[in-house]
Structure 1
Amino acid sequence: MAVEYDGSAFSGWQRLTRPGEEGRRDEATVQEAVEAALGFVAGQPIATVCAGRTDAGVHARAQVIHFDSPVARDPRGWVLGTTTRLPPSVCIRWCVPVAGDFHARFSARARRYRYRLLNRPVRPALMREYLVWERRPVDARAMHRAAQALLGEQDFSAFRTVHCQAPHARRNMHEISVHRDGEVIDFELQANAFLHHQVRNIVGSLLVVGRGEKPEAWIAELLAGRDRTVAGPTAPPGGLMFLNPLYPPACGLPAEVTLSDA
């Protein structure tokens, strides 16, 4: 399944309690909501696995999940039945059957994120849940040039949170770009996988460059130094969207989450 959600009212994707335990007050998660809706359609509890966890306040356009069901439902039934039991901020985009060895997380070869910034003197009234406001002038071209130092397989210790539980900080950054369209600046990143807060920490450091507080070469220096304490602040979560994971064509998933043969 592909799950689309506005993460504003959720404490992230991951369920905070085990099945059968009472949920923590005021800490709703997307996984909890999706599993409850799936369980209603299936008539029994359903556990899900996602392609990549998202933090509190982070949105997703196509979060891919997989689950095993002991009951048969056609894809349309899963999509419509589950969506009717979800809050307005969550829906199921599509559902397809997959092979028994498919895994939403481990079968993925890449993940794509976008961070959106509104750069103007006046705060936003529209779409404010899906972008972050920066009132000071920011140089998008300088940030794009600086970001190219992050391409390839490297140690991203300077951009991981101290709470990150990954066994190592090496990740392969396939693409990273920063571009402006009028007052909106988009940061787009694709990597084989991401560390906890990696995207938001990268954006926070790039903004230091964009405001002219540090030279473009500073990003490469941060990467080489591997010291999170000297990097920029963590950017707020509201501007971050998990666009989608990417899988090999053999998985038989829709084009938006399938790697190109090229």
Structure 2
Amino acid sequence: MGDRRFRLDLSYDGTHFHGWAMQPGQRTVEGELATWLTRIAGTAQPVRLVVAGRTDAGVHARGQVAHADLPATMDAAELKRRLLRALPPDIVVRRLTVAPPGFDARFAAIWRRYVYRLWDLSSHPDPLLRGMVTTKSLDLDPELMTAAGSRLLGLRDFAPFCRRREGATTIRTLLQCEARRVADGCGTIELTVRADAFCHSMVRSLTGALVAVGSGTQSMDWLDEVAAGPTRAGSVTVMPARGLCLEQVAYAPDHELAQRARAAHARRTLPAGPETTTGPVDSDDCGCGFEG
């Protein structure tokens, strides 16, 4: 009967994983999933997974999405039950379904939403949550951070905030960049960053820049100068992985999935500039597959 495509919606605590991508001798999210999918499916070759966002070591996910092509005889509900029994407790498959035609976890996504969580001097840290939040010995102003983030919205080259990869573009469309202090009893600051795609370390670098402005350490003019630079800015701190979580991946309607996947492979250009990439969008840093 051949194969059919399955969609997996999953969450994981990234603390003890060396990122998403399978690596020899390292414990990774993809490695755990592929091992158990291969065993359960009984395939001769290891199951290959395609993911929406290839998170880095220590980065968490609440709304990660992946797909795998498995024997058509597999029942989605039974496969989910068996995975829940087999997988370690720091990975949970929340939903497993037969994917609609044209679905691609990576290229059919229209945006990805990350949240970076911070405690500052006004916060009341909960030690039980310390693996999910970064503590800064500073007073942070979420409104000032949001004002700074608004200056970066839209289609632009995010090279100053990315770890460049050969042949990959750093042009992205940043749709949202907002900070707020939430009423969680801890006074946690959540920085929400949403974009069509992210390049490597982009969210953590953006967070570092906005923390610098929000603490008064740097000015808005400094941020403008950094953002206008042609290459990665050494003055921007890349924040620790533990505060970052992939919260949500959004997809085109079912009838537009194939069209969206084709469009995601297209070359990216800035409106008034020359072509700046030699290949498709390498789309979450965490490009399209990185953690940000």
Preserved contact between residue 147 and residue 219 of structure 1 (Cα < 8 Å):
no
**Deviation of residue 66 (structure 1)?**
0.7
Deviation string 1:180-218 (CA, Å, 9 cap, x unpaired) is: 125210010111100100000000111111111111232
Alignment of 1:70-219 (within 5 A): 70-120=71-121, 124-162=126-164, 164-165=165-166, 167-181=168-182, 183-219=187-223
Q: Distance in 2 between matches of 1:251 and 1:54?
A: 28
Q: Which moved more, 1:75-84 or 1:59-68?
A: 75-84
Alignment of 1:49-88 (within 5 A): 49-88=50-89
Q: Which moved more, 1:55-64 or 1:99-108?
A: 99-108
Match for 1:245: what amino acid? V
Preserved contact between residue 62 and residue 93 of structure 1 (Cα < 8 Å):
no
Deviation string 1:38-76 (CA, Å, 9 cap, x unpaired) is: 122212232111011000000011211111112522221
Aligned twin of 1:247: 251
Q: Distance in 1 between matches of 2:76 and 2:256?
A: 14
Q: Aligned residue pairs: how many?
A: 244
CA RMSD of aligned residues (A): 1.9
Stretches of structure 1 lacking an aligned partner (at least 5 in a row): 17-22, 254-262
Change (3 A) 1:115 1:165: farther
**Deviation of residue 120 (structure 1)?**
2.9
TM superposition outliers: structure 1 runs of 4+ over 4 Å: 121-124
Q: Distance in 1 between matches of 2:198 and 2:167?
A: 9
Q: Distance in 1 between matches of 2:101 and 2:253?
A: 16
Aligned twin of 1:4: 11
Q: Distance in 2 between matches of 1:141 and 1:94?
A: 36
**Deviation of residue 166 (structure 1)?**
5.7
Preserved contact between residue 2 and residue 93 of structure 1 (Cα < 8 Å):
yes
Match for 1:99: what amino acid? P
**Deviation of residue 135 (structure 1)?**
2.1
Q: Which moved more, 1:85-94 or 1:228-237?
A: 228-237
**Deviation of residue 80 (structure 1)?**
1.4
SS of 2:80's partner is helix
Preserved contact between residue 124 and residue 133 of structure 1 (Cα < 8 Å):
no
SS of 2:11's partner is strand
Match for 1:145: what amino acid? A
Q: Distance in 2 between matches of 1:217 and 1:179?
A: 22
SS of 1:129's partner is coil
TM-score by length of 2: 0.79
Q: Distance in 2 between matches of 1:179 and 1:194?
A: 22
Deviation string 1:152-188 (CA, Å, 9 cap, x unpaired) is: 00010110024x3462211001111111125210010
TM-score by length of 1: 0.87
